Amino acid sequence: MTDSKEDLTRLLASDADPVEAGVILKRLSEQESPDVTGWLSTLANHRSDLSLADPAVLGGLIRLIHLTVLRDQDGLLGQLSLPDLTAVLHGLPESTPNRHLLMHLLAMRGDADSLTALVSHLRQSPPRGWMAAGQILSPLMQRDQWPIEAVFPRLLDLLDQPALASPVLDLAGYLVRSGRLSEHPAADRVESINHLLAAVADRLARFEEDPRSFGDEVDQVQAVLSEAVALAVSLCDAAALIGEPSSLPALYKAVDLKHRRVQSEAAGAMAKLGDEAGRERLIELADEPSARLRAIHYADELGFGNRINPSHRTPESTAEAELALWLSQPQQMGVPPTEVEVVDSRRMLWPSFHDPVDVYLVRFEYRFGERCFSNIGMTGPAVFSFSADVADLPVDDIYAMYAGWHAEHPDIFTVRAQDFNDAQLRRVEPLSLHLHRNGYSDVHAELLGFFLDETAAVFRALRDGKECLAITDGLETIDIATAGRQRPVSPEDVFHLYKGRKMLRTFNS
């Protein structure tokens, strides 16, 4: 205990050395019985020093506290002192990374006092990003035993905070859908909801005309766009649940936007309000792969699913829609593909599944003027696409690479060349010699892969004078050319191919 206090005191010093701080944080993380309550108490007792400490060091310590509690929620969460938690939150500088994780712990506690404190902290110091805000409130959508009156209606006063508006409305909607509330908490604020939706729709319309209206930096534009879209979607959902026809003018603005997700939510809300134009728009949106699944869901829910073209419900159409929707997410391409098409499908045994599953390979394409970007993704057991271009690989190898990527097991892992220990170097050397004997030159190890009881190494090499990545276990060798490719495979991709081949052969022989 004394050592931990001394460590924490050094971390809070204004002149704390970053290297030493990293060593201390590592030492604290490796304790067999970490005294999280003691750490929090020490921080609370040094509240006045927090503003002088290095924000990056404080952020690392907060993350450590958060991770430690998550590992033992039943044992640690209830032991945390609410006065200590609130004292630390009050003392942390605004610039402290991971500050929101302490508010997440308040939400996880879920008692009236903790939630009252949480709402107060959100009012005083709202998070900067909607994803952080969503994480803070997420425990309240994962459990039902918490007092609603400690949160609503006070939380609705924060709808003017850009980062909080969407998660707050999503939480309100969850309470209605789960049956905990019969009326939407914002039902008496429908005019404000309509005004905000119209304003967000106008802002997105200006962005569609001039993307620079959201900023000049790509990251900045993406962040602002994601926040605006999330808010538009949440507002449409709130309007649908409140059910007031006065929301229709704002919804008409939203449904005219180009963004497919916003269109779908606005059209769904219009249809729920009995508007025929909303129904017609949902039927049209079913033609769009990235909007198809949501449009069909709303049409079925509202009783006119029979008006959707039956061809949009085939397994192939669903697979295309799943990949198009995945690609449209902000963390992927951010926009729907120009084209999607299933190029192959098979029913087979697959890693992590006991019974055979249908696996689809879906080719997608983006056209940007004269430029074209395409690849082949996978749907079925998972939805994913590699960054590397795999379109010209044999179909069996594309399946294998995705199977290898999808496989998870404690005994399947890799070690990068720069991290090899002596024993691993001894394993790599004969595999390197094996490649030399089989016609490869300029062989350099990239990683060592452990696949259950087997070991294989990936090398960067030349074959017939052309650059490639090659993997071998001494018996089986695979190589893929990398020269002249804009998006060549990585060493990790090659290891995925190696283990995927072995698994699919074993499972489906």
- Whether residue 259 is contained in a domain is answered as no
- Whether residue 431 is contained in a domain is answered as yes
375 and 417 part of one domain: no
428 and 482 part of one domain: yes
Instruction: Provide the domain count of the chain.
Output: 2
350 and 417 part of one domain: no
450 and 497 part of one domain: yes
419 and 489 part of one domain: yes
Query: pTM, whole model, 2 decimals?
Result: 0.82
381 and 416 part of one domain: no
Instruction: Determine the pLDDT at residue 33.
Output: 80
- Whether residue 484 is contained in a domain is answered as yes
The list of the chain residues with pLDDT below 50 reads: 1-2
- Whether residue 450 is contained in a domain is answered as yes
Instruction: Determine the pLDDT at residue 3.
Output: 63
Using an 8 Å Cβ cutoff, are 342 and 359 in contact? no
- Whether residue 67 is contained in a domain is answered as no
Instruction: Determine the pLDDT at residue 137.
Output: 94
380 and 419 part of one domain: no
420 and 492 part of one domain: yes
501 and 438 part of one domain: yes
430 and 359 part of one domain: no
Distance separating alpha carbons of residues 497 and 406, to the nearest angstrom: 11
Instruction: Determine the pLDDT at residue 335.
Output: 85
Radius of gyration of the chain (CA): 27
- Whether residue 348 is contained in a domain is answered as yes
Q: What is the DSSP string of 188-257?
A: GGHHHHHHHHHHHHHHHHHHHH-GGGG-SSHHHHHHHHHHHHHHHHHHHHHHHHHT-GGGHHHHHHHHTS
- The position carrying tokens 């939380």 is 155
- Whether residue 461 is contained in a domain is answered as yes
- Whether residue 125 is contained in a domain is answered as no
Q: Which domain holds residue 375?
A: 332-385
